[in-house]
Structure 1
Amino acid sequence: MRVAVADVGTNSSHLLIAEAMTAGEAGGYRVLDALKDRTRLGECLDSAGNVTPEGEDRLASALTRFRALAASAGVPEVHVSATSALREAPNGAAVAARMLSRTGVYPAIISGEREGELTYLGAAHAVELAPDNVLLDLGGGSLEFVRGDPAGARDVLSLPLGAIRMTRAHLPTDPAGRRELAALRAAVHAALAPHAARFRVRAGTRVVLSSGTAEAAAVAILARRGEQAQSVNGAGFSLAELGDLLEHVRGLRLAARARVPGLERRADTVVAGLATLHAALETLGAQDVTVSEGALREGMLIEELTRLQAYQSSISARQRSVLGTAERFGANLSHARQVAALARALLAALQAAGEPLGPDGEARSLLTAAGALHEVGQIVAQSAHHKHSAYLIRHAGLRGFTPREIEWIALLARYHRKSAPRPTHPDFAALSGPEQALLTRLVAVLRVADGLDRSHAGGVKVKALERRGGAWHLTVSGATPLDLEGARDKADIWTRAFGPLTLRTLT
């Protein structure tokens, strides 16, 4: 089982390709490949904060490279999370949608809180945590604070204090002047002060830093001690050492800073980054910190692998045959799992509302299989892949299903996109009238489920489905604008089978 994830930040974009280790180790993985692209989106914003055409080109180039490298490793799709740069750009959602059409990869824009949760998960798998932990993750545009325990994040805060942002706002000259640096520190103190009590360091609290700036600081501080290390994961340093490093590099010009060990690639923003971290740590009362090389993309990777491993371990024997078939035909297992889960959730809500959807358990099993296999036809061709999927399902040798059930799975996959079932279609016409009505209703469920993961971000959850009068109202969480658009576009058969469908998303 292999997964590819990437994060798009203000300064750079990173790809990570890994495969699961032993089935018994949830989230355990081995890195196969990694790639960093210095997209520098923070440089490509106009006066209104919109991403410029140059920024879009840089991002498209990075995502195209990421997809090609993942494909060469046998991974059909890259899961991408976009952070501060796209999150805050007024045209961020439009840029993300254009990336899908240009590159086939959709950078799902995540909140600062979600970013903090995933970063904490990545750090938790990289360093030993204490019963109480405070994580600081400094990016180019934002600084996340997370308080948590070994089980996970408990409180998350995102503030616009990233290294690139603070450099532009407070350090216009090189080298930085003391007055400008003092203003930067004051800005950090002022922004954090209303929230400081939530993240104040207590007796026994472990403070963890996760960012390129933190890793660079660790390398520089170790060098100042006369130490060298292949990795800085787990390395520690004191607030005083960080302050000494800041004072040393503050007075250096750019070329000289670039010669300091560890600072070579971020010499232009490192003064603001170090000053921001120092001021934040000081405000929270931290004296010593531990550096984690596990960050956002590692958290994304662990979460996705854990989901897939849990899915594999929970399905029935015949659904394992479905999963094996999906893997054999190179299907996107993450998308398949998500569509199947959404279809089951919608089905359960409809049944709870009294909608007739066939014998208990049968519809659930058929939708689960069809959700997993609906795109296997892409191994033949993208064009008309729904028809190719139907053909492959009929001839794949699925175990544990009757010939009738296999035919229904094939038909569900056949109609998950494009035209609705029609009496002029021979395979559909071969069904009885009641069977045609039931299949159409199941197709309606599958199409909406597929639309709800149009972004392939895998974040949507069904929260409620209510019938009011003759219409249905679906509430979901975690949906991107593309997911909502996809569900609305694919609700045509739902409207015919059940009645009009409206959607709303929880923030």
Structure 2
Amino acid sequence: MRIGVLDVGSNSAHLKVTDLSVGAPPDPVTTVKRPTQLAEAINADGAVEREAIDRLVASVGEAVRAAAAHDVEELVTFATSAVRDATNQQEIVARVAAATGVRLGFLSGRDEARLTFLAARAWYGWSAGRLLLADIGGGSLEIAHGEGQEPVLALSLPLGAGRLTRAHLPGDPPSRKHLKRLRRRVYRRLNEASAQVMPGLEGERPVRPVATSKTFTQLARLTGAPKRKVGPYARRVLELERLREQIPVLAGKRASSRAKLRGLSHPRAPQILAGAIVAEALMTTLEIDRVDICPWAIREGLIMRRLQAMSDPAAADDETARLTQAVPAARIRPPLSPVPTLSA
């Protein structure tokens, strides 16, 4: 079976096309990624601005045409917190449906954490033992841990890099006053969350900290991890001390200058400082010296869930079923050229 998972996030609409066969690992076919830049287009009332909605609609349309061109049989489509939490969410969903035929669905923050944990477990396998997962998105931070395929704890906190940048880091670069206030806010929220997380990490069995998301990946590259072109199997690590060294560097630069630093992309440059503050506070609060960067995340978690259901129908769940639809008929323009996949 060939499926496509379309993740409409705060920075991009990202389609991953994969072939699934029972008893075999997912076989990636292609990926298509188009900008949405929603993180920079949410007004004071919490609504996504019209120009950004137009961009989102166009990006989803390109993804749908690519899915049709690659003979995708099932399309799993969801939007993350930038659309889910927008005050004009219904307008956005209606416009996307009218223009592209796609019905955008949503996952709760907890379900996002659970599915991302499933992806990390599939990537590292049982030999990794207990996993502690962190994922910094545009709108939220997900934390999960456990020994099985499902985490015993899954949390979602409103500490996404885009959300914090909009709300707490005005100026380019931001002032020291705003940086201190944000740092205090993040530490206070994570100290509260640690009361739920830390008890589950106690015991003699070791815990393997892993992190997903572009924020963690780009911070790891900034601090010396291998380049993307080396491929997904190269080990990438983010070390706390090296991260701490880079925060003043990021804080002292405009977004345009940050984008010129190693591994940082232009779309994420405005929010990478807030992401670094969250990563540093999280690792400090949970007493983590380093995290391994996992190349699989929520898209792969949904793929693994669908693969589980193929081999065991009892593994099917409502969260995946309600996001799944047939590929709408391709409309007007041909798809843009896909980008090569680097996922395993």
TM-score, structure 2 as length reference: 0.83
Q: SS of the residue aligned with 1:207?
A: strand
Question: Could you tell me whether the CA contact under 8 Å between 1:219 and 1:232 is conserved in 2?
Answer: no
Deviation, 1:77, is: 4.1
Question: Could you tell me whether the CA contact under 8 Å between 2:194 and 2:285 is conserved in 1?
Answer: yes
Deviations 1:425-462 (A, max 9, x none): xxxxxxxxxxxxxxxxxxxxxxxxxxxx9x95259xxx
Q: SS of the residue aligned with 2:291?
A: strand
Aligned partners of 1:76 and 1:173: how far apart in 2? 46
Deviation, 1:15, is: 0.7
Deviation, 1:103, is: 0.9
- Is there any run of 5+ residues in structure 2 with no aligned partner, and where? 326-344
Q: Which residue, out of 323, 326, 336, partners 1:457?
A: 323
Structure 1 residues 104 and 191: CA distance shift in structure 2, 3 A: same
Q: How does 1:149-188 map to 2 (within 5 A)?
A: 149-188=147-186
Equivalence for 1:29: 26
Q: Tell me whether 1:215 sits opposite 2:214 in the alignment.
A: no
Aligned partners of 1:252 and 1:128: how far apart in 2? 40
Q: How does 1:443-454 map to 2 (within 5 A)?
A: none
Q: SS of the residue aligned with 1:307?
A: helix
Question: Could you tell me whether the CA contact under 8 Å between 1:136 and 1:145 is conserved in 2?
Answer: yes
Q: Tell me whether 1:255 sits opposite 2:252 in the alignment.
A: no
Structure 1 residues 45 and 251: CA distance shift in structure 2, 3 A: closer
Q: Tell me whether 1:12 sits opposite 2:12 in the alignment.
A: yes
Structure 1 residues 95 and 237: CA distance shift in structure 2, 3 A: closer
Q: How does 1:189-268 map to 2 (within 5 A)?
A: 189-200=187-198, 201-202=201-202, 204-222=206-224, 230-231=230-231, 234-265=235-266, 266-268=268-270
Q: Tell me whether 1:141 sits opposite 2:139 in the alignment.
A: yes
Question: Could you tell me whether the CA contact under 8 Å between 2:75 and 2:324 is conserved in 1?
Answer: no
Structure 1 residues 231 and 170: CA distance shift in structure 2, 3 A: farther
Question: Could you tell me whether the CA contact under 8 Å between 1:3 and 1:305 is conserved in 2?
Answer: no
Question: Could you tell me whether the CA contact under 8 Å between 1:39 and 1:59 is conserved in 2?
Answer: yes
Deviation, 1:273, is: 0.8
- Is there any run of 5+ residues in structure 1 with no aligned partner, and where? 315-337, 343-452, 460-507
Residue type at the aligned position of 2:123: A
Deviation, 1:94, is: 4.4
Residue type at the aligned position of 1:264: S
Structure 1 residues 257 and 238: CA distance shift in structure 2, 3 A: same
Equivalence for 2:67: 70
Q: Tell me whether 1:104 sits opposite 2:101 in the alignment.
A: yes
Structure 1 residues 157 and 240: CA distance shift in structure 2, 3 A: same
Question: Could you tell me whether the CA contact under 8 Å between 1:2 and 1:20 is conserved in 2?
Answer: yes
Aligned partners of 1:175 and 1:43: how far apart in 2? 15
Question: Could you tell me whether the CA contact under 8 Å between 1:249 and 1:257 is conserved in 2?
Answer: yes
Q: How does 1:350-499 map to 2 (within 5 A)?
A: 457-458=323-324
Aligned length: 316
Aligned partners of 1:57 and 1:307: how far apart in 2? 35
Q: Which residue, out of 302, 305, 314, partners 2:304?
A: 302
Equivalence for 1:90: 87
Deviation, 1:141, is: 0.9
Residue type at the aligned position of 2:98: S
Work out which of the two has the higher radius of gyration on C-alpha atoms and give 1 or 2. 1
Deviation, 1:128, is: 4.8
Q: SS of the residue aligned with 1:293?
A: coil
The structure carrying a bigger helix percent of its residues is: 1
Equivalence for 1:467: none
Aligned partners of 1:184 and 1:8: how far apart in 2? 27
Residue type at the aligned position of 1:135: L
How well do the aligned residues superpose, as a CA RMSD in angstroms? 2.6
Question: Could you tell me whether the CA contact under 8 Å between 1:167 and 1:269 is conserved in 2?
Answer: yes
TM-score, structure 1 as length reference: 0.58
Deviation, 1:175, is: 2.6
Deviation, 1:163, is: 0.7
Q: Which runs of 4+ in 1 moved over 4 A?
A: none
